[in-house]
Amino acid sequence: MNLWLLIAAINGALAVAAGAFGAHGLQGRLDAHQMEVFQTAARYHMYHALAIGLAALAARAGAASTQANVAAAFFLAGIILFSGSLYLLSLTGIRALGFVTPFGGLAFLVGWIALAWAAVRVV
């Protein structure tokens, strides 16, 4: 079993569900700014679900597996911290949650750097 590919697929499904919930379930319940924040969370959630899948495939290359696994872990951390904090911020209005968001963005950046490192190791 490829655990990271499974995690990618689950997160992809969750991102689609969140996007649909935002578009249909939250319409009229959140103001325009809250809706924009929620949709940003869903968009980055999907981007990085796909990135986890890419890292899962890269992990199959023996020389790059460690870096690809690190990338996937950081992408997952970014989804939890970045998208998670934005989902909660938009739904609850608790502004303090915005403090967590940049750490998720940083995790995304580290994940992309680790994936680039994996690409260099494969070549």
pTM over 0.75: yes
Q: Which residue has the tokens 């403090």?
A: 99
pLDDT at 29: 92
Contacts of 47 (CB under 8 A, 6+ apart): none
Band of residue 123 on the pLDDT scale cut at 50, 70, 90:
low
Give 64's pLDDT tier (boundaries 50, 70, 90): confident
pLDDT more than 70, % of the chain: 98
Rounded to whole angstroms, how far apart are CA atoms 40 and 35? Answer: 9
Q: How confident is the model at residue 62 (pLDDT cuts 50, 70, 90)?
A: confident
How far, in Å, are 7, 18, 40 from residue 13 at the CA level? 10, 9, 16
- Averaged over 40-53, what is the pLDDT? 98
